[in-house]
Amino acid sequence: MKHRLMVIASGAALVAGLVAANTADAHGRSARAILANAEGARIGSVEFRTDDGHTEVRVRLTGAPGVDAFHGFHIHANDVPANGDGCVADPTTAPATWFVSADGHYNPTGAGHSHHVGDMPVVYVSADGSVETRFRIDRISPADLNGRVVVLHAGADNYANIPLGSLPTQYTANSADATAATAKTGNAGDRVACGVIASR
């Protein structure tokens, strides 16, 4: 009887170990953010999953602002406590103040814009306010995204492509300050939706 109990106990320990190992292997292979606008209304989700050495990003939004247009779409650092934490916005204030708590683009390597770890492709908001798209990124994994923030911007991201000269087709006025601003954010404009990422 004692021998049988030992076998059962050993088997239970083995099963528990396998479950723990599988849980550990699965942890951090996906992450998710729920996006909300400045009024706090949910507009959709962004999911991140490990896929063949890359991270697949799936975006589903409804009721997004700025229809029939491209919008800058980035991972922000959320790493300066003095600015607040996560997604903080007061809809009664100017849009320029919304979600500044998310801080700048996630850029641990100090790269130029379009090469930030947090840079992602622009997304297109359809006439009905919806977004349904997926793409791959390879600079960050879901496990490294926990606590970072996804931000949807009011304008498109020009990825710091700054035409030289004074023609009307250039993105910004031809000055050192304007060039620096474009190089930093791609002129994507105000932050209109935000969501904190949680690894799973």
Distance CA 115, CA 56 (A): 18
- Write the CA distances from 6 to 3, 13, 19, 121, integer angstroms: 5, 10, 20, 57
191 is catalytic: yes
Position 173 scores a pLDDT of: 58
Active-site hit among 32, 71, 74, 148: 74
Position 157 scores a pLDDT of: 84
Return the C-alpha torsion angle 138, 139, 143, 148, nearest 10. -130
Per-residue pLDDT reduced to its tens digit, 91-115 = 999 999 999 999 999 988 888 777 7
116 is catalytic: yes
**8 pLDDT tier (thresholds 50, 70, 90):** very low
Active-site hit among 32, 71, 103, 119: 119
Active-site hit among 71, 113, 139, 148: 113
Which domains does the chain possess?
A: 29-199 (2.60.40.200)
27 is catalytic: no
153 is catalytic: yes
Residue 199 structure tokens: 């690894």
Nearest to 131 by CA among 31, 35, 41: 35
- Write the CA distances from 92 to 38, 39, 70, 83, 167, integer angstroms: 9, 9, 25, 18, 37
Active-site hit among 32, 71, 76, 139: 76
